[in-house]
C-alpha cells in the first residue's frame, strides 16, 4: 500500500516512524490531495525537488484541519526514512531555507539527543524570514532561528508532539556535548580586549598630561615668561608715550618737558641725599663751618 512504511526502515524510539505523528493527523494526511498526487512514489532523491518548491510551513489549517504540504513531506520522510547524511545535507543547505527547516524538523523527530543539539544549534545564526500558515489559514512572519528555538524548547510544533530530549546541561555534565560556543563570542572577546586596553591608554594619557603640566609650571620657565611679559609691556608703554609725543601739540610738549624736569630734580635730590649720606665726617665738619661763615661748601 502507498501508506505503508518502507520495510527497510528502522524503528524510531521503539515504534514505527509514522507513529510519531498522531493517528488523526496521519489520517488527514493520507486523505489529502497533495499527498496522493505529489508525494506518491517519492524517493530520497526526488523528495528534494518537492522540498525546494515549498513556500511556507505549518501544521494544519481551516475548519476541517487540512495538512500543509510541509507536513505531508515530513510524513513522507518518516515513511521512506532517508539516510542520515541526506538529512544533514538538508540542514546544511543555505540556498533553500524551507529545505533546511524540513531537515531540521525531521531530525528533531528521529534524531538522538546529541545529534539534535549538534546540528540544530548552529541554525540559531540563520535569521532569514519564513511564511508560516496558521490554523485559521492566514500567514504570519517568522524566522529560521525562531523555528529552531521552538523545536529545541517547546513540546509541540506544527501540531505534532515532539519527542522529549534531555537538557543540554545534562549532556554537558556527562561529557556527551561540549559547551555551546556562541557566534558572538569572538565579538565579546574583541570588546573585552578593547576594554582592557582603554585603562592602559587612559593611564598613559594621564602621565603625559601630568608631565606637560609640571613642565609648564617650571620656575625657570615662569621667570623667563615674566621677563618677556615685562619687556613687552615696557616696550608698549614707550611706544605709546612716543606716539603721544608725536601726535600732541606744543602744550603737551611743554607739559612733558616740565614733567621730565621735575623727574630730573627729584633724581638729583635723591643723588644729593645719597652723596650727603656718603660724605666723609671731616668734610662734613668743614662744610658746616664754611656754611656759618657764608662760604660755599667743599666739593
pLDDT digits (tens, 9 = 90+) for 197-253: 776 656 666 665 555 544 545 555 666 666 676 666 656 665 555 555 544 444 454
pLDDT digits (tens, 9 = 90+) for 243-270: 555 444 444 544 444 455 555 554 545 4
Phi-psi region of 13 (alpha: psi -120 to 50; beta: other; left: phi over 0): left
Q: Round to whole Å and give the CA distance between 212 and 32.
A: 84
Q: Which pLDDT does position 198 carry in this prediction?
A: 72
Whether 76 contacts 47, CB under 8 Å: yes
Q: Which pLDDT does position 250 carry in this prediction?
A: 47
Phi, psi of 179 (to 5 degrees): -60, 140
Greatest alpha-carbon pair distance for the chain in Å reads 165
Q: Round to whole Å and give the CA distance between 99 and 83.
A: 15
Q: Which pLDDT does position 11 carry in this prediction?
A: 82
Q: Which pLDDT does position 258 carry in this prediction?
A: 42
pTM of the model: 0.62
Q: Round to whole Å and give the CA distance between 10 and 16.
A: 8
Q: Which pLDDT does position 218 carry in this prediction?
A: 55
Type and span of the H or E element at 141: strand 139-143
Q: Which pLDDT does position 257 carry in this prediction?
A: 42
Q: Where are the alpha helices (DSSP H) in the chain?
A: 23-30, 33-38, 47-52, 69-80, 84-92, 97-110, 113-120, 144-153, 168-173, 185-216, 219-247, 250-278, 281-293
Whether 30 contacts 1, CB under 8 Å: no
Q: For the chain, list residues with pLDDT below 70.
A: 1-2, 186, 189, 199-227, 229-279, 299
Q: Which pLDDT does position 8 carry in this prediction?
A: 76
Give me the half-sphere count of Cα atoms (radius 13 Å) on the Cβ side of residue 174: 8
Amino acid at each position: 500500500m502507498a501508506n505503508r512504511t518502507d520495510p527497510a526502515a528502522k524503528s524510531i524510539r521503539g515504534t514505527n516512524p509514522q507513529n510519531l505523528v498522531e493517528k488523526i493527523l496521519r489520517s488527514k494526511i493520507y486523505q489529502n490531495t497533495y499527498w496522493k498526487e505529489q508525494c506518491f512514489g517519492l524517493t530520497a532523491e526526488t523528495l528534494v525537488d518537492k522540498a525546494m518548491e515549498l513556500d511556507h510551513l505549518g501544521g494544519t489549517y481551516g475548519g476541517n484541519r487540512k495538512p500543509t504540504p510541509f507536513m505531508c513531506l515530513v510524513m513522507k520522510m518518516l515513511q521512506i526514512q532517508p539516510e542520515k547524511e541526506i538529512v544533514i545535507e538538508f540542514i546544511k543547505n543555505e540556498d533553500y531555507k524551507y529545505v533546511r527547516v524540513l531537515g531540521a524538523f525531521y531530525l528533531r523527530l528521529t534524531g538522538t539527543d546529541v545529534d539534535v543539539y549538534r546540528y540544530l544549534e548552529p541554525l540559531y545564526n540563520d535569521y532569514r524570514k519564513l511564511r508560516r500558515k496558521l490554523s485559521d489559514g492566514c500567514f504570519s512572519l517568522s524566522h529560521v532561528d525562531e523555528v529552531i528555538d521552538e523545536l529545541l524548547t517547546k513540546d509541540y510544533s506544527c501540531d505534532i508532539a515532539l519527542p522529549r530530549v534531555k537538557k543540554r546541561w545534562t549532556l554537558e555534565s556527562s561529557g556527551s556535548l561540549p559547551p555551546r560556543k556562541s557566534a558572538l563570542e569572538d565579538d565579546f572577546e574583541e570588546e573585552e580586549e578593547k576594554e582592557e586596553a582603554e585603562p592602559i591608554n587612559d593611564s598613559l594619557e594621564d602621565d603625559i598630561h601630568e608631565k606637560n603640566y609640571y613642565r609648564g609650571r617650571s620656575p625657570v620657565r615662569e621667570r623667563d615668561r615674566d621677563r618677556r611679559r615685562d619687556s613687552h609691556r615696557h616696550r608698549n608703554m614707550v611706544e605709546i608715550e612716543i606716539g603721544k609725543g608725536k601726535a600732541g601739540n606744543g602744550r603737551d610738549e611743554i607739559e612733558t618737558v616740565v614733567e621730565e624736569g621735575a623727574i630730573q630734580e627729584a633724581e638729583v635730590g635723591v643723588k644729593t641725599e645719597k652723596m650727603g649720606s656718603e660724605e666723609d665726617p671731616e668734610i662734613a665738619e668743614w662744610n658746616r663751618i664754611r656754611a656759618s661763615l657764608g662760604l660755599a661748601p667743599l666739593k
